[in-house]
Structure 1
Amino acid sequence: MSLQYQIVPVTSFSQNCSIVWCDETMQGIVIDPGGDEKQLAQLIKELGVDVQQLVLTHGHLDHVGGTEPLAKALGDVPIVGPHKDDNFWLQGLEGQSQMFGFPLTSAFEPNQWLNDGDEVVFGQQKLQVFHTPGHTPGHVILFSDSARLAFVGDVLFNGSIGRTDFPKGDFNTLIQSIKTKLWPLGNDVRFVPGHGPESTFGHERASNPFVADEMPLY
């Protein structure tokens, strides 16, 4: 048995939505369904994944915009995450959608908030939840120890880190989240960021200009 996943870039922001499943049971989850829900529903059907939950890393529109319509299309599956400190983002979705010219997205609350130490379970697979504030105060990441794989939303990117200039973002908090929550998981861990290509924690520790272990002196 192993963890399988497919990344689907959605919205004009090319946000990495991930369909993740257990290949033994075909039960799965969708992480950050930010939009293009019809395309996602069709692909889920083609893959034969039995979606148990929609899981949100944080409350920004490009990560959550398609959540409610997709949940309905899949038979009212539960929505879980992010951490409750991002509720203000979810309650402000209408304003966010007007600001970015997205389809009007109504405010909603998930069926369950996620906390540090929680687990998201589907089939024979489980993802550990880590609360990683900084980009937003309620951001979480999801980690599969068996697959050595993390879904990190907008905390860390290949060669960069998440923005901290949004309301309640904080640069020092984000750096601390990366160094105290992500790095201890191991250099070999591959990660799927919220935008752009995958990388590994080890690669970012060696070369990412924001969080490399040894910052070069110029």
Structure 2
Amino acid sequence: MKIEVLPVTPFQQNCSIIICTETNKAAIVDPGGEVDRIISKLDSLGVIAEKILITHAHIDHAGGTKDLSERLTLPIEGPQQEDIFWIDRLSDQSRMFQFPEAKPFEPTRWLSHNDKVTVGNLEFQVLHCPGHTPGHVVFINHKYKWCWVGDVLFKGSIGRTDFPRGDHATLINAIKENLLPLDDDYQFLSGHGPTSTIGNERVNNPYIN
């Protein structure tokens, strides 16, 4: 497995490309915008784009989804269906945050807790982790002990819950129920900022201790 991170949008959202090195197939996680840059990166890597994975439907994570899907004819997997609330409002979100116009999309596959998704020969467990948004999901590869957690958990912090349909108690419960049981050496990539490990956050994150 190989991971390429491409910060996009003025919010510097960590769009990532997960590559199965056995098959050269790749998934784009959270294409929030700057679709031309994402496509150029895929071309430079020489990979076969297979699908788009979405953790949640805030504009900086999902704003480029429909455009990328249409241009590369890619299926969209995720988020969980409760995030239709945010998908339907992508155009409103783009105006609110002065982003380029973003179009709503219909996922090829809505995801549910404990679903599996694949990228080439790689397999990921899906965990529904609401609180930041109602349909937020995370992706975990247990073989390589890597997690894509969107805006659920950050190094030293947690996701905001002051947006519509956010809930602090729900978010804390999702983290404690789904992420903290993982081994200390599981690494995770957040939607913004640096990577960290579950063990580091278990000890040092003041929001979950």
* TM-score, with structure 2 as normaliser: 0.98
1:72 Cα offset (Å): 2.2
Query: Of the candidates 61, 75, 83, which is equivalent to residue 78 of structure 1?
Result: 75
Question: What residue number does 1:141 align with?
Answer: 138
Alignment: residue pair count? 209
Q: Is 2:66–2:104's contact at 8 Å kept on the other side of the alignment? A: no
Query: Of the candidates 95, 98, 103, which is equivalent to residue 95 of structure 2?
Result: 98
- Which consecutive segments of 4 or more residues in structure 1 shift more than 2 A? none
Query: Of the candidates 106, 109, 115, which is equivalent to residue 106 of structure 2?
Result: 109
Query: Of the candidates 38, 41, 49, which is equivalent to residue 40 of structure 1?
Result: 38
Question: Is 1:62 aligned to 2:60, yes or no?
Answer: yes
Q: Is 2:65–2:105's contact at 8 Å kept on the other side of the alignment? A: no
User: SS of 1:184's equivalent?
Assistant: coil
Corresponding letter in the other structure for 2:47: V
1:108 Cα offset (Å): 1.8
Q: 1:1-218 maps to which residues of 2 (within 5 A)? A: 3-74=1-72, 76-212=73-209
RMSD of aligned Cα (Å): 0.8
Alpha-carbon separation, structure 1, partners of 2:14 and 2:87: 19
1:49 Cα offset (Å): 1.5
Corresponding letter in the other structure for 1:46: S
Alpha-carbon separation, structure 2, partners of 1:88 and 1:188: 35
Stretches of structure 1 that go unaligned for 5 or more consecutive residues are 213-218
Alpha-carbon separation, structure 2, partners of 1:106 and 1:139: 19
1:153 Cα offset (Å): 0.1
1:31 Cα offset (Å): 0.4
Alpha-carbon separation, structure 1, partners of 2:63 and 2:57: 9
Instruction: Render the CA deviation track for 1:3-58: whole Å, top value 9, x for unaligned.
Output: 11111000000000010011011111010000011010011011111111101000
1:118 Cα offset (Å): 0.8
1:109 Cα offset (Å): 1.5
Alpha-carbon separation, structure 1, partners of 2:119 and 2:58: 25
1:73 Cα offset (Å): 2.4
Stretches of structure 2 that go unaligned for 5 or more consecutive residues are none
